[in-house]
Structure 1
Amino acid sequence: MENFTFNSFTLQLEGLNVSKYWMYPVFFCFFFFYLFIMITNVGIVVLVFIDKSLHQPMYLLFCNLPVNDIVGSSIMVPRLLSDILQPPSERLISYYECVVQAFISHMFGTTCYTVLMIMAFDRYVAICNPLRYAAIMTNKMVIKLTVFAWGVALVLVGILLGLTIRLNRCRTRIMNPYCDNASLFKLSCESVVINNVYGLTFTVILFTGSIGSTVLTYAKITVVCLTSNNKSLNSKALKTCSTHLVVYLVLLFTGFINIILHRFPQYSEHRKLVLIMFFIVPACLNPIIYGIQSAEISRSLSKLFRSKKLTPLS
């Protein structure tokens, strides 16, 4: 028979099941991933901030991604690193810390999609309405789009977690490497039908809106490119849109794998690894993809390094 502890404020994280032989290799692997995420993403944000040539809507909107990656990775990876070195019985977390971690982890996932939606809108205006781009994509519009991306995520995730924290808890074990909404409401012995319905609605709205807007945007961009004889326009469209599309597909793939593995309990360890990769893989790839593909960012980086080399030592 299962032992119940009602409304305990101390929870136990199951974490990753890592043998003693693999404990330190896994720890250092995730540590270097986190270090890479922080250096590259913070570097991109600082570069855009200090280089006035990058003060363009495209790069200002893109800055939302590295900021989101920094926050999302920081709420999950350090805690994961700490738990890897702890025996399973000592992987304890307070209920309030768990709720905060769940809130930020869902904000991270949702904001990834909403930011890519507003970036797709920017590319649509740049390619389909190039003459009106400066008039449409003003600083005010950039602020509005940024508020939309974070505001929509805040409302959707706020309701999601609000429905969960109202429940009484009778269990204390989180069956994940970190806290999320599903893990929290599974601690309850009450009916969670509302949580499941809203969670499904949340997912459908997010994926439908994200995929629908991206498909529509790229369909219109494709039509413009096919009907235009402007090779310069087509080259620009291919370069900027391929970057955005690669980032989006990576995020979509990891998100779908996540959802699919939730339906197969026998692959719980695989699911845990995919959950972690959802935070790590896009956060590692975003600065690489944009840094390599963007001529402006590459030029700004090379200019920065050249200026450091030319700086006199005395």
Structure 2
Amino acid sequence: MSAGVNVTSLPILVTSVTLDGLAQLSNQRLFFFFFLCAYLFMLCSDSLVVYVICSQRSLHRPMFVFVTAVLMNSVAGSTVFYPKLLVDLLRGVRSVQVTLRVCMCEAWLLYSLGTSSFLLLAAMSFDRYVSICRPLLYTVVMSPATVLALLLLCWLLPVGLVGTAVLLASRLPLCRSQLSRIYCDIYSLVSLSCGGRETLLSEVYNLSVIVATVLLPAIFVLFSYSAVLSVCLRRSRSFSSKALSTCLPHLLVFCNYSVSSGVEVLHRRLQAGSQPTASVLTSIFQVMIPTVFNPVVYGLKVTEIRAQLRRLLGCQRAD
């Protein structure tokens, strides 16, 4: 009789997941107020910028279509994340139990929207590259059909790739059901598994998804703006100043997404021995910082949007 078998390493039937990340937030009332302000600010600022773009015909151009798409992604992702978090903080609970199916759906939505934003930023950099480096071809290359095709690619590709990752994770045998998180993510779900060949396959596929939807778009963004900078260095100062001013907001948003996601990914991969509080806070800031930062950048740094906002809010100076 084999008495040395470790029972805890055997697969168990897991139908729900316990998220105990809220236990790491010492003052939940203070965090409730903080996140409520962030959520309301994000909703109001994103909606205002999107309204300005949609209502002004002069802004119906490819660049602003992609800006609208990024902000819509931000609103959708925040709506998946904030309301439930606010309710849990208001109730003062320290752990939340969700069904495995709901957990999978939440991970799929958050990761699909997050990776979609990287692809949209790559499409935006392509638009700026064509506009500045190939201006004579701009109207031909960036036609309405091209813009629509890019939008569909940026939204549907992550849905399929991340959906497959979630499907692979859902088939893994699980040995644990408790996560020090406040929302579900694919990497954490895989970490609950018992290991083995299926877990390795899921991890390899997840890595390939990150490469396809985050790393490659990031490389393309850097290449595009490097080409733009090269052209600007060879042109007049006025042209360079105008061209770089249109690229700066997109670069700021790209850096914001990259740093937030990079810190989260590195922390998840190197979290052995780290404090659970640090894991919870990095996961929160990965979602919160881009959603609050992006509308501020586009509202204040994009000249056309800023001018329309001043006019709408009655701040336009009289000539």
1:69-84 matches, cutoff 5 A? 69-84=74-89
Taking every aligned residue pair, what percent have the same amino acid on both sides? Answer: 29
Q: Structure 1 residue 135: deviation in Å?
A: 2.2
> Out of 259, 263, 281, which is 2:289 matched to?
281
Calculate the aligned-residue CA RMSD, in Å.
Answer: 2.1
State whether structure 2 residue 92 is matched by structure 1 residue 86: yes
State whether structure 2 residue 219 is matched by structure 1 residue 212: yes
Alpha-carbon distance in structure 2 between the residues aligned to 1:46 and 1:228: 35
Alpha-carbon distance in structure 2 between the residues aligned to 1:235 and 1:81: 43
Q: Structure 1 residue 4: deviation in Å?
A: 7.7
Cross-structure match for 1:311? none
Q: Structure 1 residue 2: deviation in Å?
A: 4.5
1:119-158 matches, cutoff 5 A? 119-158=124-163
Q: Structure 1 residue 115: deviation in Å?
A: 0.8
Would the alpha carbon gap of residues 39 and 3 (structure 1) be closer, same or farther in structure 2, given more than 3 Å must change?
farther
Q: For residue 284 of structure 2, give the secondary structure of its aligned residue in structure 1.
A: helix
Q: Is residue 175–residue 183 contact of structure 1 (8 Å, CA) maintained in 2?
A: no
Would the alpha carbon gap of residues 18 and 271 (structure 1) be closer, same or farther in structure 2, given more than 3 Å must change?
closer
> Out of 227, 234, 244, which is 1:238 matched to?
244
Deviates more, 1:298-307 or 1:50-59: 298-307
State whether structure 2 residue 14 is matched by structure 1 residue 11: no
How high is the TM-score relative to the length of structure 1?
Answer: 0.90
> Out of 168, 185, 188, which is 2:173 matched to?
168
Alpha-carbon distance in structure 1 between the residues aligned to 2:94 and 2:35: 18
Cross-structure match for 1:298? 306
Would the alpha carbon gap of residues 187 and 264 (structure 1) be closer, same or farther in structure 2, given more than 3 Å must change?
closer
Alpha-carbon distance in structure 2 between the residues aligned to 1:57 and 1:296: 14
Cross-structure match for 1:203? 210
Residues 177-203 of structure 1: per-residue CA shift (max 9 Å, x gap): 100112222333352111111122222
Q: Is residue 261–residue 267 contact of structure 1 (8 Å, CA) maintained in 2?
A: no
Q: For residue 275 of structure 2, give the secondary structure of its aligned residue in structure 1.
A: helix
Query: Alignment length, in residue pairs?
Result: 304
Alpha-carbon distance in structure 2 between the residues aligned to 1:158 and 1:71: 17
Q: Structure 1 residue 50: deviation in Å?
A: 1.8
Q: Structure 1 residue 26: deviation in Å?
A: 1.0
How high is the TM-score relative to the length of structure 2?
Answer: 0.89
Q: For residue 182 of structure 1, give the secondary structure of its aligned residue in structure 2.
A: helix
Amino acid at match of 1:188: S
Unaligned runs of 5+ in 2: 1-6
Unaligned runs of 5+ in 1: 308-314
Residues 134-168 of structure 1: per-residue CA shift (max 9 Å, x gap): 22212111101111111221222122111111223
